Amino acid sequence: MCLGIPVQVIECGEHFARCQGRHGDELRIDLSLVGQQAPGTWLLCFLDAAREVIPAERAASICAALAALEAVGTGETNFDAFFADLNREPQLPEFLRTNKS
């Protein structure tokens, strides 16, 4: 299993971008799979290569999940702050909500 890490583009070149990681660190990210991206764009990365362009909301939820994993490592047991949507009923995708009989 691999974990994608969200990063935000600070400055973009033709093949690489300077990005900010979750903890404020700067990373050099390979853009071969996603092409050039504008500053402010969020990327999902693995092994310093962008795999996908993602919206800010998805980046935030992934960062929260990664923070929860870090909290487990320190013995934390209250995960409500990391997964605010766990106390709601799951929603079916639109194509499953309509009855097509």
pLDDT tens sequence across 32-87: 999 999 999 999 999 999 999 999 999 998 998 898 888 888 887 777 766 666 66
pLDDT of residue 30: 98
pLDDT of residue 88: 72
Catalogue all structural domains in the chain, each as residue range(s) with its CATH number: 5-73 (2.30.30.140)
Stretch 9-16: mean pLDDT, rounded? 96
pLDDT of residue 78: 73
Cα–Cα distances in Å, from 82 out to 46, 66, 79?
22, 9, 5
* Two tokens, residue 36: 């050039």
- Give the integer Cα–Cα distance in Å for 26 and 59: 17
pLDDT of residue 50: 97
Which helix (H) or strand (E) element contains residue 58?
helix 56-73
